[in-house]
Amino acid sequence: MNAPALTPEDRQKLDDLYARLSAMRDKNIGYPCNQEFDYSELFRFLQFSVNNVGDPFSGSNYRMNTQDFEREVVAEFAEFAQAKANDWWGYVTSGGTEGNMYGLYVGRETYPEGICYFSEDTHYSVAKILRLQHTRSLMLKSQPNGEMDYEDLRESLRIHRDAPPIIFANIGTTMKGAIDNLLTIRSILNELSISKAYVHADAALSGMILPFVEDAQPWNFAAGADSISISGHKMLGSPIPCGVILARKKHVERVSRSIEYIGALDTTIAGSRSAIAPLFLWYRLHTLGHDGLRHTVNGCLERAEYAVDKLCAIGINAWRHKNSVTVVFPKPPESIMRKWILAPNQDICHLIVMPHVSRSIIDAFVDDFASAMNEPYNTSLQ
């Protein structure tokens, strides 16, 4: 039987979509989605209905899966995050929100009476997750640079000493790229003699940056994390949103259940999971290699500093954190917001220098910004 053909009108819709996305590619500088990748070698696998249902380390009755590739992927991410051998577990998620949901879920199961502490610069999805899980929570103040206010954390922990803390740490905040220092957080817990505590690290973007720099801020398992969420479609790049969650094995054992129907352990958030996303991540890791990843990250950091210098040269007060590809500046005039895909928040905005954001793209953006400077806007951050 021949496959039904699309009508000319339907084909035109697809062509129009392709043209629209192609035109926007180089203007997409405000969100951390790498547009530079080529997975054409893997397109042949799209003819199979593959599914990574269940725990990637326990096997499954549904053998049309890529769990062997998934195990390799999470093992590499565990190495990046300095997890101790035989002391970690993980799987490929649908993205950062699922990773954070898993970390907070395991934290809540570890300490059912706990209180989750997160700063006001935390990603919007975290408050939603906490509502869904009915976890007690307390929002902390942030410092002006976006980092957690550690004095507010200390005082809040002191007041609520009766409840174990579940601390949500940002390893690169959404708007400013600020990193909450895990060693500082752990030292506060030790100072207050709090032995029962869980620390989740949201390293969506920076989790694929910090392993490849010379002087990384404390962010990983070695610095005191109990679980870490890292995105796959950000620095690595993927047409499918995805990520990796890693957690200490002793915590995951609290939520593990055996399911006869699928012949696997139920340790993940989702039942059916993408088997294509792990394949993409495996391919990307193996084609780039550690040297290629380091080169990619350092190139982005160098171009981020270039963007800061170019913006400052035209009178825009731009800045970025150490080891961050997020360049922060006052919200531009409306003409710039319409032409470029940027991420605003109140009176600030940012561009994120991903691998596809070249110097020429930065130059074009800065030239447009300079031309629009006669429009009313605020050139300095509050």
Residue 121 and residue 176 in contact, taking contact as beta carbons nearer than 8 Å: yes
pLDDT of residue 120: 97
Rounded mean pLDDT, 315-338: 97
Q: Where are the domains of the chain?
A: 8-37+290-371, 43-285
Question: Could you say which of 324, 335, 358, 380 is catalytic?
Answer: 324
Q: What is the pTM of this model?
A: 0.94
pLDDT exceeds cutoff 80 at 300: yes
Rounded mean pLDDT, 56-76: 94
Give per-residue pLDDT as tens, 243-272.
999 999 988 877 765 444 445 567 889 889
pLDDT of residue 59: 80
d(Cα 194, Cα 18) in Å, to the nearest integer?
55
Rounded mean pLDDT, 81-86: 96
pLDDT exceeds cutoff 80 at 4: no
d(Cα 127, Cα 288) in Å, to the nearest integer?
36
Higher per-residue confidence, 59 vs 130: 130
Is 324 catalytic? The answer is: yes
Looking only at Cα atoms, what is the longest distance across the chain?
72
Identity at 51, one-letter amino acid code: N
Give per-residue pLDDT as tens, 135-161.
999 999 999 999 999 999 999 999 999
What is the fold, at CATH topology level, of the domain defined by 43-285?
Answer: Aspartate Aminotransferase; domain 2 (3.40.640)
Report the b/e string of 349-370 with b at 16+ CB within 10 A: bbbbbbbbbeeebbebbbeebe
pLDDT of residue 259: 45
pLDDT of residue 382: 37
pLDDT band at residue 61 using 50, 70 and 90 as cut-offs: confident
pLDDT of residue 219: 97
d(Cα 343, Cα 270) in Å, to the nearest integer?
29
Give per-residue pLDDT as tens, 184-241.
999 999 999 999 999 999 999 999 999 999 999 999 999 999 999 999 999 999 999 9
pLDDT of residue 381: 46
pLDDT of residue 58: 86
Q: Which residues make Cβ contacts (< 8 Å) with residue 68, sequence separation at least 6? A: none
Q: What is the mean pLDDT of the chain?
A: 94
Q: What percentage of the chain has pLDDT greater than the value 70? A: 95
pLDDT of residue 261: 44
What architecture (CATH level 2) is domain 8-37+290-371? Alpha-Beta Complex (3.90)
Q: Which residues make Cβ contacts (< 8 Å) with residue 332, sequence separation at least 6? A: 342, 349, 369, 372, 377
